[in-house]
Structure 1
Amino acid sequence: MRKEIQAYLDQNADLKLFVRMHPEWYRTLSRSPLEVQRLKSAADLFYGRTFSQRLDRFNQRASMMSMFVAMAEAMAEKKA
């Protein structure tokens, strides 16, 4: 692998870990170093950093909070 790619991975610990977990990227980056952008996209998808994944997590948290509020209101009504 080229020195520039190794230095880039050293600067980005999460990408370095992703490459270690998916060794096919060693070969891909060795043959075509310009695939770094595709590596970043694949790592974002793996780590759940895409917009749709973040939106899904937000919606799950919002629904959980609304469930807790509804449960708290039900308990308050039950006591009253």
Structure 2
Amino acid sequence: MDPYSYQYISANPQLANFIRYNPIWYRYLSRDPHRLMEMEKEAKKFYGKTFPQRIEKISSNIQMVGMLMQFADAMKD
């Protein structure tokens, strides 16, 4: 693996963990170190840190709070 790629991955523990779960990226980065940003995008998808995934998570949390409030109102009566 390219020394720059290795250093970049070592500096970011989340990427290091991602590459351990997906060892095919060792091969990809060995052959083409310019795919580092592609790997970073895949890691974001893996960890649920893309914008649509975050919006979906916030939306589900808001729905849960709404249901809890309805449940609390129903328990008062």
Equivalenced residues, count: 77
Q: Give me the TM-score of the superposition, normalised by structure 1.
A: 0.93
Structure 1 alignment gaps of length 5 or more: none
Instruction: Establish whether residue 39 from structure 1 lines up as the match of residue 39 from structure 2.
Output: yes
Shift of 1:20: 1.0
Identity rate, percent: 35
Counterpart position of 2:29 = 29
RCO comparison, higher one (Cα < 8 Å, 6+)? 2
Higher gyration radius (CA): 1
| RMSD, aligned α-carbons | 0.6
Instruction: Establish whether residue 72 from structure 1 lines up as the match of residue 72 from structure 2.
Output: yes
Q: Could you tell me which amino acid in structure 2 is paired with residue 66 of structure 1?
A: G
Which consecutive aligned stretches of 4+ in structure 1 deviate over 6 angstroms post-superposition? none
